[in-house]
Amino acid sequence: MDKLPGNILVIEDDQDVSFTARTVLRKRFRQVICEDKPDRIPALLEQQNIDVVLLDMNFKAGETSGEEGLYWLKVILRAAPHVKVLMTTAYGDIQLAVESMKLGAVDFLVKPWEREKLLASVEAVFDLGRTQKQLDQYRRAQMIGNQEDELLGKSRSMRSVFEAVDKVAVTDANVLLLGENGTGKDLIAKALHNASRRRDMPFVKVDLGALSESLFESELFGHVKGAFTDAREDRPGRFEVADGGTLFLDEIGNLSEQLQSKLLSAIQNRKVTRLGSHREVQTDVRLICATNKPIYEMVAEETFRQDLLYRINTVEIPVPALRERKEDIPLLAEHFLKRIRQKYGKDDLDFGDGVMDELKQYHWPGNVRELHHAIERAVIMCEGRYLDAGDFSLKPVPEISREKELNVKHLEKDTIRQAISHCEGNLTRAAEELGFSRSTLYRKMKKYGL
């Protein structure tokens, strides 16, 4: 069995007990340090990266009050709050146990202990500390964001978004953001979090569109060591990492029906179970979801669960496309240019005559994200003092008109009707001929009223 990467400090004045502890723990942990003088504790904590301290309650001959142990427990937790402390004593005084736990000890072990009990207790305390460290690391990583990101706009459609954010942010209501890619849904999610009562807790984003089905449960719900081939250690999922804060599920419309069911269960029960474990973990998250998919059409076609939609859309906020708020383009463009020219050391660079009109006339299929990238490219390519239209090289992207869209739907409906007629009403054969599954054919028949 591989050794755990842990450093254990044993504070014990009984040499026989200390020897036994060292012998037992060295088989499982990377390093075991034994010390019989408690006044060495501060120096050892400073010199060594200690994970668990096994601390005796009494050091003086005949002493049974446990006061020394409680004193050194306080010293340890002040000097190294991350260290987990397991108290030991030859006297099973329940009051001492309660007192040490109140002060911050993780557990209490009564001597004489069995070797298996000692090892199991220290392992459990070490695993607890490791899990908490992982959570802290995830939370710090998620809370470090780009402080320069701003949600900008003065158009009527964006004012409506800002008003909705102001009203909803102070509640714990689940929010569904609907809009095209690149419209700034992630910035709105952050704005909701930053204006909420959870602002000092984690904001955790999960891109469900980039998450494979095999990794879904591990990423969202976590896993324990050995749950699958590469699970070399316990790992909390995003629900646990976001506990007390906000969980932002982007591209929720990409989830398969099976994964929708698992997500719905976690949202309804407010509990998750790590892969490979049977223990449920209570979670408290504020849920914000986003999608660029036609979610209501998907519900009508039964490709998205209606009960899941009801869970995530307590409040809906439609996010307008950039072509629907062209009066915001100068504001956004100036903001991006200010940041980007500093990045590339071109502080004097400005927009040339007529460029802003060109930007306002463009369709922007990639929305605000495309505008940002276009300005960055122009700054890089520009050799003069002013950005001109040639620096942008915007390429028109043909739009699918409403008329063409209706023609496509009419063609699909007519094709389905012909296939059913050709197969004399045999839906299984018709589905095969069309390259659909039977369930997909049923949904499309329902959609088109066939």
Helix axes 94-103, 67-79, angle to 10 degrees: 20
What is the model's pLDDT at position 92? 59
Q: What pLDDT, in 10s, does the model give residues 115-162?
A: 899 999 999 999 888 888 777 766 655 554 444 456 789 999 999 999
Residues 167 and 303 in one domain: yes
**Would residue 273 count as lying in a domain?**
yes
Residues 388 and 406 in one domain: no
| Token pair in block for residue 31 | 């390093």
Residues 352 and 408 in one domain: no
Residues 61 and 190 in one domain: no
Domain termination residue (choose one: 268, 286, 318):
318
Residues 223 and 313 in one domain: yes
How far apart are the C-alpha atoms of 386 and 247, rounded to whole Å? Answer: 43
**Would residue 362 count as lying in a domain?**
yes
- CATH number of the domain within which 69 lies: 3.40.50.2300
What residue ranges of the chain have pLDDT lower than 70? 1-2, 59-64, 91-94, 137-150, 396-409
- CATH number of the domain within which 293 lies: 3.40.50.300
Q: What pLDDT, in 10s, does the model give residues 168-186?
A: 999 999 999 999 999 999 9
What is the model's pLDDT at position 108? 85
Cα dihedral sign for 430, 434, 435, 437?
Answer: negative
How far apart are the C-alpha atoms of 398 and 400, rounded to whole Å? Answer: 7
**Would residue 300 count as lying in a domain?**
yes
**Would residue 147 count as lying in a domain?**
no
- CATH number of the domain within which 442 lies: 1.10.10.60
Please report where in the chains the tokens 């095999």 appear, as a residue: 214
CA 192 to chain centre: 16
Residues 215 and 338 in one domain: no
- Expressed as residue numbers, the domain containing 438 is 402-448
Which residues make beta-bridge pairs with 24? none
What is the model's pLDDT at position 408? 63
How far apart are the C-alpha atoms of 125 and 116, rounded to whole Å? Answer: 14
Domain termination residue (choose one: 109, 141, 173):
141
What is the model's pLDDT at position 147? 41
Residue type, 191: A
- CATH number of the domain within which 388 lies: 1.10.8.60
| Token pair in block for residue 173 | 């209501």
DSSP 301-343: TTSS-HHHHHHH-SEEEE---GGG-GGGHHHHHHHHHHHHHHH
**Would residue 156 count as lying in a domain?**
no
Domain termination residue (choose one: 288, 318, 348):
318
Residues 81 and 127 in one domain: yes
Residues 33 and 180 in one domain: no
**Would residue 290 count as lying in a domain?**
yes
Residues 168 and 74 in one domain: no
Q: How many structural domains comprise the chain? A: 4
Residues 177 and 310 in one domain: yes
Residues 84 and 105 in one domain: yes
**Would residue 10 count as lying in a domain?**
yes
What is the model's pLDDT at position 204? 94
52 by Cβ neighbours in 10 Å (0-12 / 13-18 / 19+) ranks as buried
Residues 308 and 179 in one domain: yes
Mean pLDDT over all residues of the chain? 87
**Would residue 167 count as lying in a domain?**
yes
What is the model's pLDDT at position 397? 55
Quick check: bond before 236 cis, omega within 30? no
